[in-house]
Amino acid sequence: MIGISYVTGKVLRFGNKTIGTLIAASGISATLVFALPFIQAFYGVENLKYLFMYDLGNGLMAWTVVYLLAGSLGNKKDLGIKKGILSFVKNPMIFALILGVIVGMTTFQLPVIVTNFKTTLSQFVNPLLLVSIGVLLNFNYFFNRKNLVQLVLSAGIIMGVSVFLAYIITSLLGISSIGQKVILISAASPAAALAVALSVEHDLDLPLASALVAFTMAIGIIVIPLIIFL
């Protein structure tokens, strides 16, 4: 998806900041926020394993490849390789990701107080991000023809191409029935609010980022139920 976004942006002559936003939006999807409730309600907790497998790759890409590319296309393009890597390594989310993977691969159990604090804190993150999207969203953006073309093409990559690729890959791997449906729902998840945060941090195309998250969420409300009932 990241490669497709980059090539598409170059072919259509999008600016670097717009390409960076497209990469951030296509490389990070709101699977846990958007897809999880649907999957849990229709397919049960036992089938969430497919979602978590998909989201593991989603999270790894978000804080490695996507973060580096977004920075190189935004305000960190002049840092050079050495300073760019240092800026990447100093990101607290990298430490959090590494720590999470280490804990997940061991039998170590976090203290109950830490687990409860983590759960409580995580409940505030997404609402705050969604509020920020509402604040940053400019409705006049939708009335500009050029903006609409970029928005529709970007949404098509984020949701259309990803679902198509997910269907092809699951079919080739022999994954069918509920497993395939769960992966397709995950692939149809809208752009994550984190894309807006990265656009702010890296000085990318913020109006497009906000519009993409809002627009793909609206599409997701229609597309995901269609996948479930087809």
Beta pairing partners, 29: 191
Tens digits of per-residue pLDDT, 65-85? 888 788 888 876 665 556 656
pLDDT of residue 158 exceeding 70: yes
Mean pLDDT of the chain: 82
C-beta of residue 161 within 8 angstroms of C-beta of residue 188: no
pTM above 0.85, yes or no: no
CA dist., res. 199 & res. 70, Å (int): 8
The total number of structural domains in the chain stands at 1
Q: DSSP for 197-209? A: HHHHHTT--HHHH
Closest to 153 in 3D by CA, of 211, 195, 194, 192: 211
Confidence band for 87, pLDDT divided at 50, 70 and 90: low
User: With pLDDT > 70 as the criterion, what percentage of the chain qualifies?
Assistant: 88
Range of 107's domain?
A: 2-229
pLDDT of residue 126 exceeding 70: no
